[in-house]
Amino acid sequence: MLLITRELPQAVAMRAHAEHEVRALMLTGPFEPDHLLAHLENVDAILCTPSDKFDATLIMKLPQAIKVIATFSVGLEHIDLDAAAARGITVCNTPDVLSTATAEMALTLMLMAARRAGEGERLVRAGRWTGLSPNFHLGTGIAGKTLGIFGMGRIGRELAGMARGLGMVIHYRNRNRLSPDLEAGAIYHADDDQFLQSIDVLSINTPGGDATNGWLNAARLAVMRPGAIVVNTGRGSTVDDDALIAALRRSHIRAAGLDVFNNEPHLHPGYLDLENIVLLPHIGSATLETRNAMGFLALDGIARVLNATGSPQHISRRDVP
């Protein structure tokens, strides 16, 4: 039996029901481990989401019959991988299929932040638009500017390709330098300060984790060019919220666009009264095509484990793009 924690896209749900006996919790609010544990009789597979935290305590309480946890996400921060490995539970995620959609969102945020699109939309809705003038609502263009990509994985490389179409020069900061074919002419930096001093727009595309927790802090913001733009479609944990808010308030950072936040969905209240920021509700992968592909990939992983048609491997953090 497959237990599904939350509502899935229709096509994914139909396939799940066709392939498995399904128990659907249809959660809409906070994840409660005890509620999950009360519904695991005869269950051998779980399909969860990033909103469902499988820490070591919960994993150690799972019935012995559980063979696989598949998550409707690329990120694995909500699952204790070591605990799962200790229990012999395979963990599957959904890499590759959301790269283009998330890169599109990063580009959307770049354009919206640079052209003050969120502020303009609010102006029109409030009935405060009084007409055009030469200095009305001036933003800045991104064509021909220098884009810095922090995290040149699959999503970062997709974004780089899109940005080249706008004539942007690509710099990147990565754990390791890419091969020349993957770099495609992008300029690698092994040093944070050198990287940040070289760019007009920063796009954060890292998967998160301890190594990047609070990476964009006050010191790193201070070395960025005055008037630079910051966008984040990676993980909210990469940004020091207080530091970014302070930089936006004094206009050292011209504008920002965020699709991810610390403590989602309860973002830092300091963002809410800023005009020079675009705030979106973690919808980087939210296209019908992408969400269907994610669900199908999760079901593929579950089938592979339950049917023992491959050699299931426990996913480690190194495997996350």
* Residues labelled catalytic: 235, 264, 282
Return the beta strands (E) in 105-263 as ranges: 146-150, 169-173, 187-189, 201-204, 228-232, 253-258
Instruction: Give the H or E element holding residue 12.
Output: helix 10-19
Query: Read out DSSP for 64-97?
Result: TT--EEEESSS--TTB-HHHHHHHT-EEE---ST
Q: Are 3 and 23 in contact (CB under 8 A)?
A: yes
* Distances from the Cα of 213 to the Cα of 170, 234, 241, 301, angstroms: 24, 12, 11, 29
Q: 50: closest CA among 31, 33, 22, 32?
A: 31
Give CA angle at 195 (193, 200), nearest 5°: 110
Query: What are the residues facing 257 on neighbouring strands?
Result: 231, 278
Q: 268: closest CA among 214, 204, 222?
A: 214
Residues 6+ apart with CB under 8 A from 202: 148, 150, 196, 216, 224, 228, 229, 230, 231
Peptide bond into 265 cis (omega under 30): yes
Burial degree of 77 (CB within 10 A; 0-12, 13-18, 19+): middle
**Cα–Cα distance, 104 to 114 (Å, whole number):** 15
